[in-house]
């Protein structure tokens, strides 16, 4: 994972054979700082600029949006860093390691939710890359209609699926290239459009309420770190066991946060300077950013936009395949990734060709799945905090082992936290989610039309309930699990290996 370890080391690329199985000591390599590459490459997307518009859409000022973004991005990626520590302590994918909390088969429920979230994200990113390509070609007079979108979707989808199927080594190579290319071209983009910033307009954006600020903060959490937390250990599992835990947390959070933070600031300045641009971003978050570019930079912009989005989608499809295996599908990892690729293409067709309300559906998707993922994250973090020993890797695959088959307490906590969380969020822009928010009235928060309706308190509530409930009630279970001697090596085939 340094120059010789990132998959380049003179070895011929091949399809990764690892699935849910534990990474052996001989294959564990690199240092925590090499986690910078996949996390930076996955989050340097031009989409980060559009989050400036999304944040201002909550009705808050530049300074409020900046504070919400900084807190939401850094805190949520710190959660990823803490979960990543489990990877180097257990050598298995994230959704296998959470079997220690939920039981081997009890963990299938959060695995399904994780799979839905990662498939959703890879679909969104692929659709955005397709729309951005079509918009650029339309501005150049080279197309932009249905045929162009079809070709763009095929090319983008192929890049994502090939990366996900090939696995770790190719992903590490891709992310290093994507990091350098997108980093340089993004700086050029910022320089070219800097004269579109008008501080007088930005500073005139009125402040919003505390509830609107909290809503933007939670949206930033779900749009960034909480969208990755269920995959956070998938790459740290390749690190040596004696790697620094602080290093794992720090390099994961730093690599993932630094680009979104810089892009958010500039995105806020652009969106606050132009009401027209701010409105256009809601319909086409990437393509709208081309409208202020000189024609000669459109091709480089298309390259940086597509590469950045592909970088995130490749990590998602890799982790979605692992989550699908953890949910119980018994096929090789590469076939699971291929299946997810088919679903990704189908979802992208819907977004690109059949809907014109991207932002409303996007917020609804993030918030709805963000609630159960936050609940899972709270359980996972508290369970990890309670542990004094590394995971017994063989028992992660045995229903008769120390981690059990189905653990009722974590499952009930997750279900209860999700039910409460969904009762405290609303998604009126997505009609299929109008049933949410059912606790806002009974709890005296003004109902679905009150001031707390869009604060998205349910995500924070689910995270807190999962974490505090596990800390309070799970200590005895963890101590019992850790009291026994190491188990015998696994003598059965691991599904998806």
Q: Which band of pLDDT confidence, cut at 50, 70 and 90, is reported for residue 9?
A: very low
pLDDT at 15: 65
pLDDT tens digit string along 302-326? 888 888 888 788 888 888 888 999 9
Question: What CA–CA distance (Å, rounded) separates 228 from 73?
Answer: 11
Instruction: Provide the token pair at 88.
Output: 């180097």
DSSP state of 260: H
3-state secondary structure of 330: coil
Q: With cut-offs at 50, 70 and 90, classify the pLDDT of residue 372.
A: very high
Q: What is the pLDDT of residues 285-305, one digit of tens each?
A: 888 888 888 888 888 888 888
pTM of the predicted protein model: 0.86
pLDDT band at residue 6, thresholds of 50, 70 and 90? very low
pLDDT at position 378 is: 98
The predicted structure's pLDDT at residue 492: 46
Of the two residues 70 and 320, the one the predictor is more confident about is 70
Taking CA atoms, 126 is separated from 229, 308, 452, 464, in Å, by: 20, 10, 33, 32
Q: Give the pLDDT band of residue 366 (cuts 50, 70, 90).
A: confident
Q: What is the radius of gyration, based on Cα positions, of the chain? A: 22
Q: Which range is least confidently modeled, 86-90, 197-201, 277-281, 484-488? A: 484-488
**Alpha helix positions (H), 140-244:** 146-166, 168-193, 199-203, 210-223
Segment 259-274, tens digit of pLDDT: 999 999 999 999 999 9
**Residues 438-473: pLDDT tens digits?**
999 999 999 998 989 989 899 999 999 999 999 999
The pLDDT-based confidence of 198 (bands split at 50, 70, 90) is very high
pLDDT of amino acid 454:
86
Give the pLDDT score at 230: 92
Q: Is the predicted pLDDT of residue 31 greater than 80, yes or no?
A: yes
Per-residue model confidence as pLDDT tens digits over 12-21: 566 666 667 7
Buried b (16+ CB within 10 A) or exposed e, 164-181: bbbbbbbbbbbbbebbeb
Q: For 240, list phi and psi in degrees, rounded to 5.
A: -60, 150
pLDDT of residue 234: 86
Whose tokens are 């995959």? That residue is: 231
User: Confidence band (pLDDT; 50, 70, 90) for 490?
Assistant: low
Residue 250 clears pLDDT 70, i.e. is over it: yes
* Section 412-433 average pLDDT: 89
Could you tell me which residue, 421 or 338, shows the higher pLDDT? 421
Burial of 56 (0-12, 13-18, 19+ CB in 10 A): buried
* Residue that is written with structure tokens 């990734």 in the block: 337
Residue 363 vs residue 114, higher pLDDT: 114
| 90 phi, psi to nearest 5 deg | -130, -15
Say which residue, 305 or 82, is predicted with more confidence.
82
Angstrom distance (rounded) from CA 201 to CA 269: 9
Q: For residue range 132-188, what is the model confidence (pLDDT) as tens digits?
A: 888 888 888 887 788 888 988 998 888 888 877 786 677 767 777 777 888 888 889
Count helices and strands in the chain by DSSP H and E runs: 18, 0
How high is the pLDDT of residue 3?
38
What pLDDT score was predicted for residue 353? 87
State the distance between the two ends of the chain, measured CA to CA, in whole angstroms: 22
Whether residue 337 contacts residue 321, with contact meaning beta carbons closer than 8 Å, is answered with yes
């Amino acid at each position: 994972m340094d120059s010789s370890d990132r998959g380049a080391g003179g070895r011929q690329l091949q399809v990764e054979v690892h699935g849910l199985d534990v990474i052996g000591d001989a294959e564990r390599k690199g240092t925590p700082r090499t986690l910078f590459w996949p996390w930076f490459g996955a989050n340097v997307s031009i989409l980060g600029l559009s989050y400036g518009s999304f944040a201002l859409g909550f009705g808050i000022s530049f300074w409020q949006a900046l504070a919400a973004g900084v807190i939401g991005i850094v805190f949520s990626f710190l959660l990823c860093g803490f979960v990543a520590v489990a990877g180097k302590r257990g050598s298995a994918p994230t959704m296998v390691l959470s079997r220690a909390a939920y039981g081997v088969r009890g963990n299938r429920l959060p695995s399904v939710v994780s799979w839905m979230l990662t498939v959703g994200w890879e679909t969104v990113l692929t659709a955005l890359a397709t729309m951005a390509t079509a918009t650029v070609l339309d501005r150049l007079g080279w197309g932009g209609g249905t045929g162009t979108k079809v070709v763009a979707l095929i090319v983008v989808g192929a890049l994502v699926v090939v990366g996900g199927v090939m696995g770790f080594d190719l992903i590490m190579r891709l992310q290093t290239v994507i990091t350098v290319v997108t980093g340089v071209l993004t700086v050029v983009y910022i320089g070219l459009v800097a004269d579109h910033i008008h501080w007088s307009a930005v500073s005139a954006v009125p402040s919003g309420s505390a509830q609107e600020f909290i809503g933007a903060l939670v949206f930033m959490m779900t749009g960034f770190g909480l969208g990755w937390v269920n995959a956070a250990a998938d790459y740290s599992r390749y690190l040596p066991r004696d790697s620094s835990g602080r290093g794992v947390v720090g390099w994961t959070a730093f690599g993932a946060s630094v680009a979104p933070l810089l892009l958010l600031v500039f995105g806020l300045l652009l969106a606050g300077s132009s009401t027209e641009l701010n409105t256009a971003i809601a319909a086409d978050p990437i393509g709208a950013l081309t409208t202020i570019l000189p024609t000669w930079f459109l091709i480089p912009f298309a390259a940086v936009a597509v590469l950045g989005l592909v970088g995130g989608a490749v990590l998602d499809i890799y982790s979605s395949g692992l989550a699908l295996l953890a949910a119980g599908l018994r096929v090789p990892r590469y076939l699971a990734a291929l299946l997810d690729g088919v679903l990704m293409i189908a979802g992208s067709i819907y977004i690109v060709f059949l809907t014109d309300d991207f932002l409303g559906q996007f917020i609804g998707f993030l918030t709805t799945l963000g609630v159960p993922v936050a609940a899972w994250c709270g359980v996972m973090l508290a369970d990890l905090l309670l542990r004094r020993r590394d995971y017994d890797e063989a028992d992660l695959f045995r229903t008769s082992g120390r981690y059990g088959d189905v653990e009722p307490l974590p499952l009930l906590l997750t279900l209860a936290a999700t039910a409460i969380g969904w009762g405290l969020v609303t998604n009126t822009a997505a009609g299929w989610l109008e049933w949410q928010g059912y606790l806002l009235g009974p709890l005296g928060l003004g109902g679905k039309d009150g001031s707390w309706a869009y604060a998205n308190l349910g995500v924070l509530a689910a995270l807190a309930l999962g974490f505090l409930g596990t800390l309070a009630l799970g200590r005895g279970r963890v101590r019992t699990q850790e009291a026994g001697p190491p188990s015998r090596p696994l003598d059965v085939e691991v599904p998806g290996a």
